[in-house]
Structure 1
């Protein structure tokens, strides 16, 4: 059992060093070395032109100096925004990253992202250049060592390093395998280093994450706003039409005139609902399609309150309205949201209480606040169910909160009471 476990461990280690992921990482490193070559050749030519007696292609020291000088040039070119998605694509394809690794797909838009891309590009080219050099130099050297017993000792005209190696010809195969294994280990370590650094340097920058979070929050707020508008406008119309149709059906034979009036009210209610639906969907058309010269239909305000109340009364709900204060001078956003709040309050009365009298008071008791108060009797059959609230009441609370206002509702002594207060200094949703 012990030998089987040891054999499995060895196979797993060999697969990690020589498997497909390691080979792809080696290709990625060699690609980095290939990208470094233009910079290396440029710095080598510059060094040769500055010192005519120096041949950087024959001196290992000058080659290393040219290599170090080429890295800052590579970092400078990596500041171009398009380097980021190109590097991310190569890393995602060849680095063997985890499935949850997040790399940027867009060009670098901030200096933070550009700097991080430059760091990655320099690391990739620097490590890739070393691995490429080791691949080109040490693998042939390892093969030479392995064949040394067959080739025989070097001659007098061979380089000094070959003569030094030739003194240990019997150990050549062992040394060759060791050199080849060393290159494999270094390549695997370099590939693992790049795989670890890729999400850190090519992943979304903090500014990108913040921008993405803000975009998601804006999209969610837009969806919630659309949901509130649809719920309030269409929901109220459907509740009113349901009651109107029910009343018309009950008296169709006994009171045709009333049925005719109910059908007329249904027609007017649905026409108004279609207009409000077009207004709500117009928000999507303007933001999404961007049709030139096309704007959304105007959203109803408190100036349209009389039409809303007449349609509600046609459904058999008696609405007693009390108004006070300069309601015609309200800020537009406050007037629009106040209309929707009243509409939803009436919808709640229609859905949960039916044809009961509703008392509505809209006032500006102080110059800095609008107050909406609505009361209606609560039926015993629906009292417990309604006290829990629903989407409509939650939408009222959201509308009030967005304008820095407050809302309160509940049943008190057999009467359902809704109170909303909105400061007139609210210039828009926060």
Structure 2
């Protein structure tokens, strides 16, 4: 019983009832236009004084309503009502205007059903409750038994009076049942008539994939840029603190490197966050490349006391900008891993060369702990793997027999950059 009562009078049923009442309200202008046609056609001067003529006006108004709903903006307006009042999942209803005639035709069919069911339920909702209330109180108020209310003569009998409250309550339940049934039918048909087409679903999937690709790229940029800066600044500050009294010149160099690192990172962070701020223009700081900042990257890393040897056997100026940019991030992440895992006394070897049309990048440093794992890592290596995959290259990373950690990538010099994976 509780489930039945909830299905008839629960929140979902009430909202769908309101949706039907709105459909009845939308039907009124079309009924008026229909009455203008039915009146002269039947010679009647009072169309609304006859229930059959009212139904005829309603029937004439429905095709007119279908034609008026062919405008593209009819679909988003109806879709908004369906989402709020019919309890239909948002992703099952299209949000944009109808673009094709097929979409417009389905919208017209939906609008006709909405105002058709709505007109019937709205009319019953206006007429039936007062009549049901009279039936319920009829045995108590004798003055209502006359003919002023137009009640049938059967209510003059005692048995009819005794059953009238039951009939009144039953009529209200029947109205609620009809409203709930019509609302459920409209909710079932809404995804069919107002739902996205396969083209809409494909466009939405492509939009989500593009958004995800942008987010993944921003996450990689933030991790590589900010992560490297924090690792470098931490190492530089630690080294400067240890020799604060004994080597002031080194301390000055370390502080200068910290200043330079943080300034550059703030510029890169502004560029990345500018993409995330809705309505804001992206930051103007250019993405670093091997040609523009490889020497600076090595200098800032060495300023913290880290010993770095670099063999650059390729001309950074000759590299395509996308390749130079991604290669810079790979070298930067390799140095960041070395800063975190190799210790400040270890020597980090960086080699950049061109062989067989491939740009080879190797970053190698001694292992300070277990040769089988590097605690705390993982995100940077995944970012490198993503960058290499987008460039169509290969990457290997792991311990070697000589107890070193070796990161080695091969990137095609002329291969087009692949799209982000969906």
Aligned to 1:360: 350
* 1:36 shift after superposition: 0.6
Which of 295, 299, 311 is the matching residue for 2:287? 299
The 1:428/1:12 distance shift into structure 2, 3 A limit, reads closer
Matches within 5 A, 1:341-420: 341-354=330-343, 355-367=345-357, 369-379=358-368, 381-386=369-374, 389-413=377-401, 414-420=403-409
From 269, 278, 283, give the equivalent of 2:272.
283
Q: TM-score, normalised by structure 1?
A: 0.76
Residues 145-178 of structure 1 deviation map (CA, whole Å, 9 limit, x = unaligned): 8979985799xxx9xxx9xx65896475558546
Superposition deviation, residue 420 in structure 1: 0.9
Q: Deviations over 1:220-275 (max 9, x none)?
A: 43333233223322333333333333333444444x2xx41343143134313422
SS of 1:321's partner is strand
Which residues of 2 match residues 92-171 of structure 1 at below 5 A? Answer: 95=86, 97=87, 108=97, 110-111=99-100, 117-135=107-125, 166=153, 170=157
Question: Once the 2 structures are TM-superposed, how far is the Cα of residue 139 of structure 1 from its aligned partner?
Answer: 6.0
Name structure 2 gaps, 5 residues minimum.
none
Shift of 1:207: 5.5
Q: Which residue of 296, 310, 317 maps to 1:328? A: 317
Paired positions, count: 404
Q: CA RMSD in A?
A: 4.1
Structure 1: unaligned runs, 5 residues or longer = 1-8
Supply the distance in 1 between the matched residues of 2:232 and 2:132 (Cα, whole angstroms). 89
Conserved 8 A contact 2:94-2:200: no
Alignment partner for residue 78 of structure 1, among 69, 73, 90? 69
Q: 1:327 touches 1:364 (CA, 8 Å); kept in 2?
A: no
Change over 3 Å in CA distance of 1:101–1:319 after alignment to 2: closer
- Alpha carbons of structure 1 residues 276 and 94: separation in structure 2 relative to 1, 3 Å: closer
Deviation per residue, 1:343-381 (Å, 9 max, x gap):
1111111221123223322222123x32212222223x2
Sort the Cα spacing of 1:274 and 1:145 in 2 relative to 1 into closer, same or farther, 3 A: closer
Q: 1:347 to 1:16 in 2, by over 3 A?
A: closer
